[in-house]
Amino acid sequence: MLSTIVATVLVTVLVVLIALNVAAPERKLQRRIAHRYATEDEQFLREMSVLLGPAILPGNRVVALQNGDEIFPAMLEAIRGAQRTITFETYIYWAGHIGTEVAEALAERARAGVAVHVTVDWAGAFKMDDELLDCMQSAGVELHHYRPLRWYSLSRLNNRTHRKLLIIDGVVAFTGGVGIADPWLGHAQDSDHWRDMHFRIEGPVVAQVQAAFNDNWIKTTGVVLNGEDYFPPLEPAGNSPAHMFISSPAGGSESMHLMYLMSIAAAQRTIDLCAAYFVPDHLMRKALIDARERGVRVRVLVPGMYIDSISVKIASKTCLGELLLAGIEIYHYCPTMLHLKMLIVDGAMVSVGSTNFDRRSFRLNDEASLNIYDAEFAAQMSAIYETDLQRAEAYTYDDWKRRPLRRRIFEQLVQPFRSQL
């Protein structure tokens, strides 16, 4: 009798924990956003500022870095040049060549007296060995794991930080899709080296990137990093208006969802989306179809045969039929894993960062995205998008209809778990 009671209690606790980890946020968008203005209209910029949180700031310079050959040298140069502070947050940090090089650079700066603060996600850094931790912590790097496995935090085990943020002396920042792991090395030259981008930022918006780092640092340590070493006066560095905003289940969980819906609803001519993980919910699918019905050209570039999550690949296929029938163009990137996350709307607005086009990013993860409202920068990103399309294959409605029966069965099996993908 006693064993039955204990077993019942344990099962009940397990069910409650699972329910808490898969539950959607309390504030959830339920109705589509109507097309009321264009991306160039002041009203669009006004609402993006007030509804997403941080104001759009002028005077920024954003430089696109392509693949590891450009990204890691730029990040390492910035780290090695730090004089006062380094703040760094990432989801993926694995053992390997680049993991060692970054750890040694951070450790060297800590020994030189620079205040170095690092947040790595506990789950994403599972492959980070003790030698890397010892290298940094023994040198004075203050490193914390975000939401490690603890009995008192089991209800939040599924809520991870997916943000990729690096800020140097409060004046230079980096964000994008790249983790600290060897698959990101190189120039996407083969299937072992991923295609991705990162962005170097200067100007007033760097303070917002620093604030984004502070958000999870406070959650993890209870300490606020402030003062001129972290938030110095920032002069204009370029001509790009931009803002960095964050989302998490603890607050603003629908910010990313809302940003995409508002941007898609404002589109009048073109939507070019690059999505490493493409599992759109009903509102997103409806928004894309609505845009196509009002004459917007909609193109979506996703991974092809090379993808690190088979469950996402299977789940994404289910919804492609209605999108393809609506005239939305789907392309599969062929050479390697495509990990880039980017949205370009009407050649006027670009969104980049850590956010994937799926329910996990919109509702479960802590994410950070940078929006740039600059036609010149958008033209640069559009040119890169066109180059990537040249290495992709169109996926048609006939292709979708011809997918094998076993694949359709798998699609139905993963449907109950779409919110976790």
- Give 10-residue mean pLDDT values along the chain (421 residues): 47 38 52 88 93 92 98 98 98 96 98 98 88 96 86 61 96 97 97 97 98 96 97 98 88 80 97 94 95 98 88 76 97 97 98 88 87 98 98 95 75 57 47
Secondary structure, 3-state, 228-271: CCCCCCCCCCCCEEEEEEEEECCECCCHHHHHHHHHHHHCCCEE
CB neighbourhood size of 63 (10 A):
15
pLDDT of residue 358: 81
pLDDT of residue 156: 55
pLDDT of residue 417: 54
Contacts of residue 412, defined as CB under 8 A and 6 or more positions apart, other chains included, come to 318
| Residue 22 and residue 16 in contact, taking contact as beta carbons nearer than 8 Å | no
pLDDT of residue 154: 55
Give the domain ranges of the chain. Answer: 29-420
- Give the Cα separation of 334 and 39 in Å (integer): 32
DSSP class of 151 = G
For residue 92, the surrounding DSSP H or E stretch is none
CB neighbourhood size of 231 (10 A):
16
pLDDT of residue 319: 85
Structure token pair of residue 384: 């890169």
pLDDT of residue 18: 40
- Model-level pTM? 0.90
- Which residue, among 74, 87, 150, has the nearest Cα to 117 in the 3D structure? 87
Instruction: List the beta bridge partners of residue 274.
Output: 301, 342
Q: What is the CATH code for 29-420?
A: 3.30.870.10
Three-class DSSP category at 169: coil
pLDDT of residue 153: 54
Alpha carbons within 13 angstroms on the beta-carbon side of residue 92 total 14
